[in-house]
């Protein structure tokens, strides 16, 4: 076993238990690695049913991640894991954190930016140019995924947003730069 995992992330010689550090302590003790040493990891909570522990673990991840971005991977409404950019050293330290069960590197062929993910796009002016926006969004979604696009309407029947948009990174950028679309959220579906 790697003896480095037993040391406290707060510094050499510190005898503090590494599984009890707070997110604030961790944010001061872990230094981001050079850009070439970062990698995407999937991090799993110890108990996804323990909301307090999941919330604390997520705050800790945000504090120690390289770009401070943590993507929740949900199933049935629960956070089952997170996707986050980490250095190898930080990943090793997270393996000892009390609210984290597993830290695994994401294989290159499954990395987030290599595959489309689902988004929701919100109209800046609901009801205006709906068909043109619908056509624009549909053109960016792979043909086999178009059947899953859904729309959110207001009480007057105006389209407020489109969800379950499976977009590549380039397509996401196109939607973000569209004048009539306001906000994009990750993994949005309405029923």
**Domain limits, the chain:** 23-112, 116-186
Q: Decide if pLDDT at 130 tops 70.
A: yes
Would you state the pLDDT for residue 111? 61
- Measured CA to CA, the distance from residue 81 to residue 103 in angstroms comes to 10
CATH topology of domain 23-112: Alpha-Beta Plaits (3.30.70)
96 within 8 A of 19, measured Cβ to Cβ: yes
Q: CA-CA distances (angstroms) from residue 83 to 37, 80, 130?
A: 16, 10, 33
- Measured CA to CA, the distance from residue 83 to residue 39 in angstroms comes to 10
Q: Which of 154, 161, 150 shows the shortest CA–CA distance to 189?
A: 150
Q: Do domains 23-112 and 116-186 have the same CATH topology?
A: yes
- What mean pLDDT is predicted for residues 170-180? 87
- Measured CA to CA, the distance from residue 146 to residue 142 in angstroms comes to 6
pLDDT more than 70, % of the chain: 70
Would you state the pLDDT for residue 80? 86
- What mean pLDDT is predicted for residues 82-106? 90
Length of the chain: 191
DSSP-assigned letters across all residues of 53-108: HHHHHHHHHHHHSSSS-EEEEEETTEEEEEEEEEEHHHHHHHTTSTTEEEEEEPPG
Identify the helix (H) or strand (E) that includes residue 26: helix 23-29
CATH architecture observed for domain 116-186: 2-Layer Sandwich (3.30)
Whole-structure pTM over 0.85, yes or no?
no
The region, left, alpha or beta by phi > 0 then psi within -120 to 50, assigned to residue 63 is alpha
pLDDT digits over 37-63, tens only? 678 889 999 998 999 999 999 999 988
Q: Decide if pLDDT at 71 tops 60.
A: yes
């Amino acid at each position: 076993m790697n003896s480095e995992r037993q040391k406290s992330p707060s510094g050499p010689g510190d005898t503090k238990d590494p599984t009890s550090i707070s997110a604030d302590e961790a944010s001061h003790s872990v230094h981001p690695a050079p850009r070439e040493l970062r990698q995407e990891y999937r991090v799993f909570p110890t108990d996804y049913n323990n909301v307090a522990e999941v919330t604390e673990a997520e705050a800790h991840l945000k504090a120690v991640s390289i770009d401070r971005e943590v993507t929740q991977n949900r199933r049935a409404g629960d956070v089952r894991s997170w996707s986050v950019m980490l250095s190898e050293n930080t990943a090793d330290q997270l393996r000892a954190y009390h609210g984290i069960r597993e830290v695994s590197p994401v294989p290159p062929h499954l990395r987030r930016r290599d595959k489309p993910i689902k988004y929701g796009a919100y109209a800046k002016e609901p009801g205006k140019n709906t068909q043109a926006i619908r056509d624009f969004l549909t053109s960016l979604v792979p043909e086999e995924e178009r059947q899953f696009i859904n729309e959110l309407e207001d009480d007057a029947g105006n389209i407020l947003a489109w969800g379950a948009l499976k977009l590549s990174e380039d397509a996401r950028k196109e939607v973000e730069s569209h004048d009539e679309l306001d906000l994009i959220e990750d993994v949005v579906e309405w029923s």
